[in-house]
């Protein structure tokens, strides 16, 4: 990579210009914000001033009318005017002459009788004695302040009634009707700016005064107008109101309450006129900003050119050193920081040259050590893998033979004492199987030998097998095992998930004495929650963090084998972490336990195979011809004895070749092949079955029996479509599998069996 000086000084120039621009922008924005806020305050203050002046004139207008009414009432209160209608008429004439705004006057005596009424537009009425005791002006009028009635329109001219009560009861109430035309002149003088106006509305939203008198004559309803709606709706006053006219023009307004109840003085001004100072300030700020950016950019270019030249020489020298020329030195005669940096570069190149030789030597030595350790680790891993595979097969083989022989003994007529001994042997075999199966599973999970293969699977078949496998166990404990059917499909490794669910259900049954165990599914967003509930003893809160540890058990200090070995939840935890399925455990003493697994929804609905029928009888086995292939002589003898006890004809062989030779001596083809998966001389059960089927010329039903636990071998058998039994196989489980295979192929030569016969059993432990 070559250094580009032009790019560096350009970057410096851009940085300086950018910083200057940023500072100026921040300053400009702050100024604009302050100007906008101050302008808003100024606009509000201007409208408040105009509204105050206009409202003061309006209040003076009403005050003068009220003062005239009060002067006449003062004469009535003092007794200077006697209670004579003619004298009061003269006094009312005097009041009307003093104020052109008073359109009519009338006096109601203390008894609520209208005695005198004079008007500019109607004849006077004297001595009518009309009852006005229930009229609003008589009832509401007070001596302290005038009472104002609602505004009325006569020939489209707004008017309002003002009433004032005398201090003495006999003084009565003096009422004047005021013409509000004079308000137009007051409002017209309250203009501000070029287009600012003020107007008056009453509490019902009616326009009473406006500079444009034709708008008042039209008697519009302004309740839909934004300022009036805001003020009349929530009584907001004194705040600046921003709104848009129907034409789309933006406006600002402010309202001030008048002394007449409900009346509001509203000032309006176009927003662009009110905020014109902000635009002028913005233009000035932008001009200053542009000039400052240009000046800052020019300064940045000059500074960048002076700074870049020595930096370019440093960069070129660093490139040469980085390319491996450790003998290169940078010549830069400066006394500033750049000169010191050049000196340190030269010192670094010298030290790098010395360190390079030492580093090459150490890297070579370290690489040799790492290669040796890697080879040792790989050899140890392969040895552990071979040990686990061999241990799985070699430990299961004798247990398988013992389990078959126990099945033979149980069908013999023996004494009660011998029968008890046989039962004890079966219990011990089951405990041994559970122990080493759990240990092997734990070892495989810790060693990373179990690799999940994720596919789409229907949960219906899995739930059916769990119900079939653990139903007899629940029946023996007089518990109700309820498995709720489900049509959900999930993406998982079906074999590993079935092992997890079997462990959870077995644990639930083991620790439940009364009640039931429930297994079911719930749909969640993008997932399916598989749940196991029980009504068992529960787990104390202090023991919840330890239940996933190996060999940890609740309330089993004597290590009773009937209560398990404490490996089930440890296997569950490791398997779910391997699959990546989140899980939840909740429990309380005496209230049972809840375990849930969150499974991802299947990408495509899988095809659900038909559910096999569970067969427990040996009706189809009697008279059947069964070929047994196993390289262990003891296992062959035990299998032969057990099948003979069911009435079957048995041929035993150690290999496929021996089996074919013996079949040539028989007059019929076998109805079923029972074959061990691992045979001697590199052969296996799948190839042996293929050879026999090819020799016979038809797909004879076959069952694979294995002690291996390698996932690759198990999937190979599953892909072949053959039923698989894991050693040790008890008599009950073997009987069920043989009966199912023969039932699926009554003629003895059907197609492949798509059935997992490793299901219901009574005298053997789970897988």
Q: Are 572 and 520 in contact (CB under 8 A)?
A: no
Cβ pair 764, 423 in contact under 8 A = no
Percentages of the chain per state (helix, strand, coil), in multiples of 5: 50, 20, 30
Do domains 1-80+183-304 and 613-744 share one topology? The answer is no
Mean pLDDT of 40-59: 77
538 in helix, strand or coil? Answer: coil
**Which residues, 6+ apart, have CB-to-CB distance to 346 below 8 Å?**
329, 330
Summarised one tens digit per residue, pLDDT across range 73-111 is 887 777 666 667 788 888 888 888 888 888 888 888 888
Question: Above 90 in pLDDT, residue 521?
Answer: yes
The per-residue pLDDT for 15 is 74
| N-terminal to C-terminal alpha carbon distance within the chain | 64
Which residue from 3, 2, 4, 14 is spatially nearest to 303, judged by alpha carbons? 14
450-600 maps to CATH 3.40.50.300: no
Q: Are 17 and 297 in contact (CB under 8 A)?
A: yes
Higher pLDDT, 624 or 415: 624
Long-range CB contact pairs, 571-577, < 8 A, 24+: 571/438, 571/441, 571/442, 571/445, 571/499, 571/500, 571/503, 572/500, 572/503, 572/504, 572/548, 573/548, 574/442, 574/445, 574/446, 575/445, 575/450, 575/496, 575/499, 575/500, 576/500
Helices 633-645 and 337-410, packing angle to 10 deg: 50
Is residue 711 over pLDDT 70? no
pLDDT tens digits, 537-551: 888 888 888 788 766
Alpha helices in 323-415 (DSSP H): 337-410
Q: What is the mean pLDDT of residues 444-448?
A: 59
Sign for the CA dihedral angle at 71, 73, 77, 82 comes to positive
The pLDDT, as a whole number, for residue 531 is 94
pLDDT in tens, 147-169: 888 888 877 778 889 998 888 88
Q: What distance in Å separates the CA atoms of residue 52 and residue 238, rounded to the nearest whole number? A: 11
C-alpha closest to that of 401 among 729, 709, 656: 729
Give the per-residue pLDDT at 122: 83
Which among 27-36, 184-193, 531-540 has the top mean pLDDT? 531-540
pLDDT of 587 higher than 60: yes
Q: What is the pLDDT of residue 298?
A: 73
Spell out the alpha helix ranges (H) of 411-457: 416-447
Is residue 610 reached through a cis peptide bond, with omega within 30 degrees of 0 on the bond before it? no
Flag whether pLDDT at 628 surpasses 90. Answer: yes
d(CA 116, CA 743): 122
Q: How many CB atoms lie within 10 A of CB 214?
A: 8
Per-residue confidence (pLDDT) for residue 626, from 0 to 100:
92
Q: Average pLDDT of the chain? A: 77
- Residue that wins the pLDDT comparison between 652 and 567: 652
pLDDT tens-place string over residues 600-613: 998 776 655 545 44
φ, ψ (nearest 5 deg) of residue 522: -130, 135
Helix (H) or strand (E) holding 573: helix 568-579
Query: Which residues lie closer than 8 Å to 428 by C-beta, 6 or more apart?
Result: none
pLDDT at 760: 31
CB atoms within 10 A of CB 194: 8
Q: How confident is the model at residue 762 (pLDDT cuts 50, 70, 90)?
A: very low
The pLDDT value given to residue 414: 65
Contact between 579 and 530 (Cβ < 8 Å): no
Residue 593's pLDDT is: 92
Report d(CA 90, CA 509) in Å as an integer.
Answer: 113
Mean pLDDT of 317-331: 71
- DSSP-derived pairing of the beta strands 724-726 and 702-706: parallel
Residue 345 has pLDDT above 50, yes or no: yes
The kind and range of the H/E element at 711 are: helix 711-720
**Res 747 pLDDT > 80:** no
| CA distances (Å), origin 496, targets 443, 471, 474, 575, 603 | 15, 20, 23, 7, 19
Mean pLDDT of 430-444: 61
Higher pLDDT pick, 417 / 528: 528
Q: Average of pLDDT values for 737-764?
A: 50
Smallest CA-to-CA distance from 627 within 651, 663, 608, 601 is with: 651
- The encoded tokens of residue 677 equal 């998966």
Residue 751 has pLDDT above 50, yes or no: no
Q: Give pLDDT tens digits for 662-698.
A: 888 887 889 999 999 888 877 888 998 999 999 888 8
pLDDT of residue 673: 93
| pLDDT value for 530 | 94
Mean pLDDT for 730-738 is: 81
Reported as a pLDDT band with limits 50, 70 and 90, residue 590 is: confident
Domain at 613-744: CATH architecture: 3-Layer(aba) Sandwich (3.40)
Mean pLDDT of 39-50: 73
Q: Which of 256-270, 710-724, 738-752 has the highest mean pLDDT?
A: 256-270
- CATH class (in words) of the domain with range 1-80+183-304: alpha beta
Using an 8 Å Cβ cutoff, are 725 and 404 in contact? no
Domain boundaries, given as residue ranges, for the chain: 1-80+183-304, 107-180, 450-600, 613-744
Residue 579 CB coordination number (10 Å): 19
- Long-range contacts at 635-642 (CB < 8 A, ≥ 24 apart): 635/397, 635/400, 635/401, 635/404, 635/676, 638/401, 638/404, 638/405, 638/408, 639/404, 639/674, 641/404, 641/405, 641/408, 642/404, 642/407, 642/408, 642/411, 642/731, 642/734
Q: What is the pLDDT of residues 69-81, one digit of tens each?
A: 888 888 777 766 6
In angstroms and rounded to an integer, the radius of gyration of the C-alpha atoms of the chain is 53
For residue 686, give the nearest of 670, 704, 669, 700 by alpha carbon.
704
pLDDT for res 6? 53
């Amino acid at each position: 990579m070559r250094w580009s000086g032009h790019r560096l000084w350009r970057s410096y120039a851009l940085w300086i210009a950018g910083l200057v621009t940023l500072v100026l922008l921040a300053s400009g924005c702050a100024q604009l914000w302050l100007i906008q806020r101050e302008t808003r305050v100024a606009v509000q203050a201007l409208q408040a001033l105009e509204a105050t002046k206009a409202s003061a004139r309006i209040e003076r207008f009403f005050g003068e009318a009220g003062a005239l009414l009060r002067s006449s009432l003062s004469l009535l209160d003092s007794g200077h005017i006697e209670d004579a209608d003619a004298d009061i008429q003269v006094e009312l004439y005097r009041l009307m002459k003093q104020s052109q705004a008073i359109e009519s006057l009338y006096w109601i005596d203390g008894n609520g009788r209208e005695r005198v009424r004079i008007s500019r537009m109607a004849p006077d009425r004297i001595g009518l004695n009309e009852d006005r005791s229930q009229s609003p002006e008589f009832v509401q009028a007070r001596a302290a302040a005038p009472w104002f009635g609602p505004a009325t329109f006569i020939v489209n001219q707004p008017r309002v009634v003002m009433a004032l009560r005398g201090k003495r009861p006999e003084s009565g109430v003096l009422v004047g009707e005021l013409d509000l035309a004079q308000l137009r002149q007051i409002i017209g003088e309250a203009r501000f700016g070029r287009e600012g106006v003020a107007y008056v509305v009453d509490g019902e939203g009616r326009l009473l005064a406006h500079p444009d008198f034709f708008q008042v004559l039209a008697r519009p309803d302004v309740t839909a107008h934004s300022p009036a709606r805001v003020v009349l709706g929530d009584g907001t006053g004194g705040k600046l109101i921003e709104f848009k006219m129907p034409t789309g023009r933006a406006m600002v307004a402010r309202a001030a309450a008048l002394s007449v109840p409900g009346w509001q003085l509203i000032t309006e001004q176009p927003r662009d006129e009110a905020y014109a100072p902000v635009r002028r300030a913005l233009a000035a700020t932008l001009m200053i900003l542009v000039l400052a950016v240009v000046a800052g950019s020019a300064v940045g270019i000059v500074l960048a050119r002076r700074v870049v030249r020595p930096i370019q020489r440093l960069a070129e020298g660093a490139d040469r050193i980085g390319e491996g020329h450790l003998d290169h030195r940078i010549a830069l005669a400066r006394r500033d920081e750049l000169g010191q940096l050049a000196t340190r570069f030269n010192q670094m190149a010298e030290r790098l040259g010395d360190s390079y030789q030492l580093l090459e030597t150490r890297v070579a030595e370290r690489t040799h050590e790492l290669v040796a350790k890697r080879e040792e680790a790989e050899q140890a891993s392969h040895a552990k893998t071979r040990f686990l595979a061999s241990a799985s097969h070699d430990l299961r083989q004798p247990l398988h033979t013992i389990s078959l022989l126990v099945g033979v003994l149980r069908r013999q007529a023996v004494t009660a004492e011998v029968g008890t001994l046989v039962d004890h042997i079966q219990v011990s075999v089951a405990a041994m199987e559970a122990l080493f199966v759990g240990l092997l599973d734990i070892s495989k999970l810790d060693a990373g030998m179990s690799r999940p293969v994720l596919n789409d699977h229907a949960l219906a078949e899995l739930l059916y097998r769990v119900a079939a496998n653990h139903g007899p166990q629940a029946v023996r404990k007089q518990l109700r095992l309820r498995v709720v059917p489900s049509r959900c499909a999930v993406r998982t490794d079906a074999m590993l998930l079935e092992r997890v669910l079997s462990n959870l259900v077995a644990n639930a049954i083991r620790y439940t004495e009364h009640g039931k165990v429930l297994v079911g599914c719930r749909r969640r967003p993008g997932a399916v929650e598989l749940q196991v509930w029980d009504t068992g003893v529960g787990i104390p809160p202090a023991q919840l963090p330890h239940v996933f540890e190996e060999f940890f058990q609740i309330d089993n200090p004597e290590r009773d084998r009937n209560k398990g070995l404490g490996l089930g939840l440890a296997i569950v935890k490791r398997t779910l972490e391997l699959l990546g399925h989140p899980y939840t455990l909740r429990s309380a003493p005496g209230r049972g336990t809840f375990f849930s697994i969150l499974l991802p929804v299947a990408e495509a609905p899988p095809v659900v195979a038909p559910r096999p029928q569970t067969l427990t009888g040996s009706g189809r086995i009697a008279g059947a011809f069964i070929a047994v292939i196993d390289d262990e002589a003891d296992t062959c003898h035990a299998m032969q004895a057990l099948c003979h006890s069911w009435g079957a004809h048995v041929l035993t062989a150690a290999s496929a070749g021996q089996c074919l030779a013996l079949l040539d001596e028989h007059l019929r083809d076998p109805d079923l092949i029972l074959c061990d998966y691992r045979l001697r001389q590199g052969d296996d059960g799948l190839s042996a079955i293929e050879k026999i089927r090819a020799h016979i010329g038809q797909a004879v039903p076959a069952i694979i029996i294995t002690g291996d636990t390698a996932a690759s071998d198990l999937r190979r058998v599953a892909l072949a479509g053959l039923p698989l039994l894991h050693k040790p196989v008890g008599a009950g489980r073997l009987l069920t599998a043989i009966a199912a295979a023969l039932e699926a192929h009554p003629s003895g030569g059907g197609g492949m069996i798509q059935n997992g016969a490793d299901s219901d059993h009574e005298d053997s432990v789970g897988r």
